[in-house]
Amino acid sequence: MQYAALRFDIVKSRRLKQRAAVQKSFLMSAEDINREFADVLEASFVVTHGDEAQALLRVSNIQSVFPILEHLTVSVDGVNFRCGVGLGTLNTSLQEMAIGMDGEAWQNAKQAINEAKVQRQSIRFEGFDPQLQPHLNAIGNLLCYLCSRWTKEQRETIRLLSKTNTQREIAAQLGISDAAVSKRLTAAGWQHYLQGRKTLEFLLEDAAKQAEEHLVNGTFH
């Protein structure tokens, strides 16, 4: 069985002025992720240190990587996250929470997040088809760049957008006009972001198929 191990950390966490408040928000976001992504998480999202977290997906659900990262981005205000995604197998038994496991997937995730730090990237994929992996890294980091430019108000609007289907409902919750909601989303580049995210999810679905073939045939095609 192939898995995608996810490792997260908060960028420049030691410089945070309100570290305790951020950590509390991080823990609350982890609880939300475990509820909202319960159907796709193979091992639950867990905060391992005050500024680090891990999760495990079955490879068939790998397209959920960016929605999870997006959830963190809009839920924990004032910080940016770094993510390492490692593809591979496990050599230990599967656990309910994403701790106490080892194997190729976790080793690749560790390599990915360490390399992301060195390269000053926001996300990095390791263990994927060598022809596909650079494209995953490029699109993923472009999306992260867009996320990093979102203002507090834009993040709040996008967070609510994930919970409701209409801008009118968002406007009512925020006490602003429909036009103001639309203006926030436009300024955030929301439609461009969605197009890029769909492209990344398509590539990740292809990567999942290739990973399963690799497990059977021993080589990427």
pLDDT digits (tens, 9 = 90+) for 90-122: 999 999 999 999 999 999 999 999 999 999 999
| 72, 27 contact by CB (below 8 A) | no
pLDDT digits (tens, 9 = 90+) for 134-143: 999 999 999 9
Strand ranges (DSSP E) for 33-185? 41-49, 52-58, 81-88, 123-126
What pLDDT shows up at residue 49?
A: 81
SS3 89: coil
- Give the architecture (CATH level 2) of 3-150+188-217: 2-Layer Sandwich (3.30)
- Domain range list for the chain: 3-150+188-217
Task: Indicate the average pLDDT of the chain.
Answer: 92
> pTM for the whole thing?
0.91
pLDDT-based confidence at 221, cuts 50/70/90? very low
Q: What CA–CA distance (Å, rounded) separates 163 from 219?
A: 41
